[in-house]
């Protein structure tokens, strides 16, 4: 039996692929990319929207009306609005966060981009972020978008995850490594 997370991922991937293909055929990839960014931001900033898409109590028609209003207010592309309406009709809005992630991955792949997850001890300056992106681009041969977060427990340095590769230059990991070496010695 499949895990619920993998089922949700499969549902999200089907809807995202369909929207991506339609947008690519219609020359609307840039609009769809902007829509996805707006929707991610809306989900991140609105517990009410998250409750609306996740609640099994809210009827389909109410979900569809609410998302149509959100789409209109945000100025979303008709393809995006129609996809959201279909997802509401089929009771699939609960996969919206995964849908947006898959859609973002498909668009990035089409554009020849990859995303690096960067965790830093302090907020990166624009110059540091640019230099890091250029260094990673030279390594992978593709344009690299940085998704940065701050974790002060690193003390200093960075942790960069790019695909299946992880580069950990944090002071925290170096101290942990030194501690393990010292345990082996004495």
Averaged pLDDT of the chain = 92
Average pLDDT score over residue span 141-152: 92
- What the block records as the tokens of 37 is 């960014």
Q: What is the mean pLDDT of residues 43-61?
A: 92
Confidence of residue 154 (pLDDT cuts 50, 70, 90): very high
Nearest to 147 by CA among 106, 97, 174, 108: 108
pLDDT above 50 for 32: yes
Q: Above 60 in pLDDT, residue 88?
A: yes
């Amino acid at each position: 039996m499949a895990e619920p997370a993998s089922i949700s991922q499969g549902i999200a991937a089907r809807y995202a692929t369909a929207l991506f293909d339609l947008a690519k055929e219609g020359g609307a990839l840039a609009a769809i990319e902007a829509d996805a960014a707006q929707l991610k931001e809306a989900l991140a900033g609105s517990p009410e929207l998250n409750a609306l898409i996740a609640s099994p109590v809210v009827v389909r028609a109410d979900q569809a009306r609410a998302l149509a209003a959100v789409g209109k207010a945000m100025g979303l592309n008709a393809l995006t609005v129609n996809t959201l309406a279909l997802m509401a009709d089929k009771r699939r809005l609960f996969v919206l966060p995964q849908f947006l992630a898959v859609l973002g991955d498909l668009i990035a792949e089409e554009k020849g981009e990859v995303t690096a997850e960067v965790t830093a001890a302090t907020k990166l300056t624009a110059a540091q972020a640019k230099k890091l992106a250029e260094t990673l681009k030279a390594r992978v041969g593709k344009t690299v978008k940085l998704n940065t977060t701050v974790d002060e427990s690193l003390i200093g340095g960075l942790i960069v995850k790019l695909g299946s590769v992880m580069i950990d230059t944090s002071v925290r990991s170096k101290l942990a490594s030194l501690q393990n070496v010292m345990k082996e010695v004495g």
